[in-house]
Amino acid sequence: MPELPEVETIRQGLKKHTLFKRLKRALVMTPKMVRGEVGQLQEVLANNRFTDIDRVGKLLIFQLENSPLSMLLHLKMTGQLIYPVPGELVAGGHPFPEFNVDLPNKYTHLIFEFEDESSLYFNDLRQFGYVQLVTPKELVAVRAQYGLEPGMDDFTWENFSALVSGRATKLKPFLLSQQHIAGLGNIYADEVAFYAGVRPDRTLNSLTIAEKKKLYTGIQEIIASAVEHKGTTFRNYADHEGKRGGYAQFLQVYGRAGQKCQRCGQSNITKVKLAGRGTHFCEVCQK
Ligand SMILES: [Zn+2]
C-alpha cells in the first residue's frame, strides 16, 4: 500500500509539473472510483487548473483555481498516479503495473487531460482508490480525522508521549491507525517497531520511556529517509543508468520473512498476522 513517503513523492512530482496547467477534461472509465457525481467532477475540472497540491497522511488534496471545492485523491491499497514526462518518471503509488508500461492500460480508471496534450493517469489494480470533491467545510472535517503527522510541527515528543500513554492497544494497530499517527502503513509500521526494538504485539502501556523515545525517533527518521529515497514505489524501477532507486534496499524486516536478521544475524525474520496484516519482526532484536 502506498504510504506517506510514496504519496509525498508523487505530490512533489505533480506540484512541479502540473500546477497551473489548464485541464481539458477528466475521463472517467470506472465511475465507482468517483465518490459523488461523475458529472459534477467533470464539470468542475473542465477548463480548471490545479493551484496547489497538499497532503494529509496518505490523502492528496488538489486546490482548484475556479472552484471553492477541493479534489481529494486517495490511492488506497493499489492506486498509482503517473504523469509521463520525457526523460523523467513522475509517478508514485503501488509498484504494479510497472510505471513504464503503455498508458492508458487496463488498470487505468481515470485520466486527467491537460490542454497541452499531457495526461495524468490514475491506475488501480484493485479499484479501492477514489477521487472526491469536497466543500471547504467538508475539507476541515476530513483533516480533523487525521492524527499527528511525522515531519509536521506538532509531531513533538510531548504530543507523541501523551498519545501513547495509558493505552492498552497493541503497537502495530496503533501505528496503522490514521487518527493516531497519519501516514504510516504496513511497511513503515514494521520498520519503526524494528528500529525501536519493540515487538509489534506489545501493548502501549507496557512500553518504557526509553522505548517510547525510540519509537518517536524511529518514526521521524524512517519516514524522513523514505521520503528522501522516494519511498519503496520504485523497487522495480531502474533509472536511465540502470540504477535501482528507492527505500526498498533499506528495509530491515518488511518483505524479509525467513531471511537472517541483518542486525543480530542470529534469527530469521518472523512473519505473523497482526491487526489483519502481515507483520514482520525479529524475535531476538525486538522485546
Ligand atoms: Zn535480529
* CA dist., res. 85 & res. 200, Å (int): 41
pTM of the model: 0.92
What's the 21 CA to ligand 1 centre distance in angstroms? 50
Please identify which residue in the block is written with the cell numbers 497482526.
274
What's the 260 CA to ligand 1 centre distance in angstroms? 8
* pLDDT at residue number 245: 53
What's the 286 CA to ligand 1 centre distance in angstroms? 7
Q: How far is CA 144 from CA 3, 17, 74, 183, 253, in A?
A: 19, 29, 16, 14, 32
What's the 164 CA to ligand 1 centre distance in angstroms? 25
* pLDDT at residue number 287: 97
Show which residues are catalytic: 2-3, 58, 277
pLDDT digits (tens, 9 = 90+) for 73-131: 999 999 999 999 888 878 888 888 888 789 999 999 999 999 999 999 999 999 999 99
* pLDDT at residue number 240: 46
- Angle at CA 158, nearest 5°, toward 152 and 159? 55
Which residues of the chain fall below pLDDT 50? 238-241
